[in-house]
Chain A
Amino acid sequence: MPALVPLHSLAVGQSAVVKRLTCAGVMRRRLMDLGLINGTRIESVQRSPSGAMAAYQIRGAVLAIRDQDAKDILIAADHNEAVCPTTE
């Protein structure tokens, strides 16, 4: 069982699997409606210029989430997938 880490620690270009949401209320609902549930593959695609937010590829769409919110999304390394080398 790989260790769970918060989403914002995912480096750009790497992907992982969503394991647990620790937020509640409206945000939890919104994330789930966007398809961000246990088992969803997620990939970090871009950090914002100011660095406090990142964009993630999830189910074919790109969503930006603030780091302070992404810490409530716990992920585990995706072992089925060869980790893509970071290009930047």
Chain B
Amino acid sequence: MGEPRQLVIALAGNPNVGKSTIFNALTGMHQHTGNWPGKTVSGARGRYRYKGREHLLVDLPGTYSLSPSSAEEEVARDFICFGKPDAVLCVADATCLSRNLHLTLQALEVTGNVVLCVNLLDEAEKKKIRIDLKRLSQLLGIPVIGTSARSGEGLEELKGAVMQTALAKRKPPCSFSYPKEIERSVETLLPLLPTGITGPDPRFLARKLLDRERGMAEKLKESCGVSLSDPLLQSLDAERERLQGIGFDAITLRDSMVQVLVDKAEEIGRQVVGTEYDPHTGIDRKIDRIVTSRRFGIPLMLLLLGCILWLTIVGANYPSAWLSTLFGYGQEALAALFAKLPLPAWVGSLICGGVYRTVTWVVSVMLPPMLIFFPLFTLLEDFGYLPRIAFNLDKYFCKAAACGKQALTICMGLGCNAVGVSGCRIIDSPRERLIAILTNAMVPCNGRFPTVIAIITMFFTASLPLVGSVTQALLLTLVIVAGVLMTLGCSKLLSKTILKGVPSAFTLELPPYRKPQIGRVIVRSVLDRALFVLGRAVTAAAPAGVLIWCMANLSVGTESLLTICGNALEPFGALLGVDGYIILAFLLGFPANEIVIPVLLMAYLQTGQLTDYSGLPALHELLVANGWTMLTAVNVLILCLFHFPCATTCLTIRKETGSLKWTAIAFLLPTVIGILLCLTTTGISHMFL
């Protein structure tokens, strides 16, 4: 006897209802390597076992409706309708239940095997909102479980209800009473529907076809292999015409169908929700009055950013130096070890001088700032601040004819541009989404951020300790602001040229503030970052170390390959106010931006050995010895901020846009900007100096 079949559970819910918390709590896994908004973009899957039965939980993107108006929502609709889940687990926010019920009712129209999880009960309680779960369950005819996923309350009960519902025989979907004339059309259409459809309820399907819902006919063909017959198509047209004649034009038809469910949700909500909550005195409102106020909104935002960056710079200095020293001893020990082993000398040199040095560089320079910046940033996100950033900045995006939610994708880009690019799916308008994708690499990601910090720390120091770090934090804030301004400028440029258009409508939800789970967020985000940086160190920096060692040690004639390449690029570098090795480092950094500095270091060091290995001061000396001036530092900063996105990001752009042309534009746009800016700074400096 084999293992019983695993149960497939679709996890659906509006955005911001704690769906991912439920997912993580049930599966005990962390579905993402970072914590960014809009993160569930492509159905994460996780397994858990309950009472000996394996469950596969599919986390669908947050959606308000099963009638998709964006690519993300289409994913959710398709899985619930055609993915044949054994049960649908709908997560609803207890603090605004009736709106959330709308989605549950839609799921119930597709399948009867639905479990409703009313989450965030703890927050509802704080707001004095009481929900009669028993009555709700009776009204809906499905199990309703109340949870506070953050504290783990109600999860066992939830698992039980999910398994019971998944194992129960197929329950018929609910049918709500639509206007008589629409029902009449549905009756006419039912016998004509293709046979062999598995998944959605025929009545549901008939209504959706009547409504010309996005992608429905295509999806039917794709997942059930049926196409709409000619009689059905004719009948659909005839019914639409008939309805139009009696006052149901396309818009009214859709409105009246949505209204049925919204009204039903409202009616149920009224019966089960009791509240004494007065939103006027709510703490959320008070906070919003300050952080999104005309006077303090934007200054406060910059101040917060500056503070986080200052903490990052000050805090990262020490561990970076310790790590460098530690790795320095490590290198000596490793070299001594290889000297004793019966191996050719070049093996030791390759391992110590190539792989070890590059990897340790990436770790010591990249890890500490990321371990400070990201937990702080994640706390802000957890608190609910990021949508307020979008709210504050929307006007500028509107002026650039872009979507206000682009501010959120920029925030994601700070973590990783590839994630930022996929995150652009939260933008509904294809034109605005493309703009957000093409400009995403203009904010420094995880791999470039520490390089920027290192250069600023080395070249823009002041003698007084506090003044020095504050200046550096200010400069770093300026760098990020410059990135955002450039994003806005380019968005506008694109809107005026190849992506002409006017800004399209969108809504931005400002979810209630939540007390961040400080301990958990910090631990999680530190672990995530550590894994991310270490992972990149192994997968990108180690091979790069081998490559660069080979280039430094293989010679053609009397010169190493590295010198030859560096020399070949020297004229171009000089034009940009940098040198050939810097250009080479950026080119070789295409697979991963983290290795730009290590490559540079190796290039400068190929003739000698670095004896004093004590972090940034040593690097600073080395750079100055190799002709770096303030101009070089400024230009490297510019190039670091504005150059082609890394390989992973390019692949993601290719995947998201499905077009080589847009990938090429995303590659060229920041590169051209970087080159132009460097030409300008170099020109200006040559004029005056």
A residues adjacent to B (C-beta < 8 A) = 13, 21, 23-24, 26-35, 37-38, 43, 45-53, 55, 57, 59-66, 68-69, 72, 84, 88
Contact = CB atoms under 8 A, between A and B. Distances in A.
A48 B292 contact: yes
A26 B167 CA distance: 37
B367 interface: no
Given A29-B67, A34-B64, A37-B259, A51 B395 contact: yes
Dominant secondary structure of chain B at its interface with chain A? helix
Contacts of A47: 294
A28 B262 CA distance: 14
A50 B297 CA distance: 9
Contact of A23 (B284, B394, B505): B505
10 contacts: A27-B506, A29-B258, A30-B65, A47-B294, A51-B395, A61-B509, A62-B511, A64-B390, A64-B509, A68-B503
Given A37-B262, A53-B391, A53-B404, A64 B298 contact: no
Given A38-B259, A63-B507, A29 B65 contact: yes
A49 B398 contact: no
A57 B279 contact: yes
Nearest to B510: A62
Given A49-B392, A84-B280, A35 B98 contact: yes
Given A49-B297, A64-B387, 15 more contacts: A13-B280, A26-B428, A32-B254, A34-B64, A35-B265, A45-B279, A46-B288, A48-B292, A52-B394, A55-B292, A59-B96, A60-B95, A62-B512, A65-B508, A66-B503
Dominant secondary structure of chain A at its interface with chain B? mixed
A21 B252 CA distance: 11
B96 A61 contact: yes
A13 B279 CA distance: 11
A35 B279 contact: no
Contact of B507 (A64, A68, A88): A64
Interface string B271-311: 00000000110001100110011110110000000000000
B99 A48 contact: no
A18 to B, nearest CB: 11
A67 to B, nearest CB: 9
B294 A51 contact: yes
Nearest to B263: A37
A65 B404 contact: no
B398 A66 contact: yes
Given A48-B395, A53-B404, A60-B99, A69 B510 contact: no
Contact of A32 (B259, B293, B394, B404): B259
B45 to A, nearest CB: 26
Contacts of A64: 387, 390-391, 394, 404, 507-510
A21 B292 CA distance: 27
B507 A61 contact: no
Interface residues of B, number: 52
Given A48-B292, A55-B288, A63-B507, A37 B255 contact: yes
B396 interface: yes
B510 A55 contact: yes
A63 B509 contact: yes
Contacts of B279: 43, 45, 57
Contacts of A68: 398, 503, 505
Contacts of B175: none
A32 B98 CA distance: 13
B251 interface: yes
A45 B285 contact: yes
A63 B280 CA distance: 15
B122 interface: no
B552 to A, nearest CB: 52
A35 B510 contact: no
Contacts of B262: 32, 35, 37
B212 to A, nearest CB: 12
A63 B512 CA distance: 11
Interface string B98-129: 11001000000000000000000000000000
A33 B65 contact: yes
Contact of A34 (B95, B391, B398, B507): B507
A62 B96 CA distance: 10
A50 to B, nearest CB: 3
Interface in B421-474: 428
A35 to B, nearest CB: 5
Contact of A65 (B69, B263, B387, B507): B507
Nearest to A67: B398
A53 B395 contact: yes
Given A29-B67, A55-B288, A84-B280, A49 B294 contact: yes
Given A46-B289, A48-B395, A29 B404 contact: no
Of B297, B391, B504, B511, which is in contact with the most chain A CB atoms at under 10 Å from its CB?
B391
A69 B254 contact: no
B266 interface: yes
Nearest to B213: A29
B597 interface: no
Contacts of B394: 48, 50, 52-53, 64, 66
B285 A34 contact: no
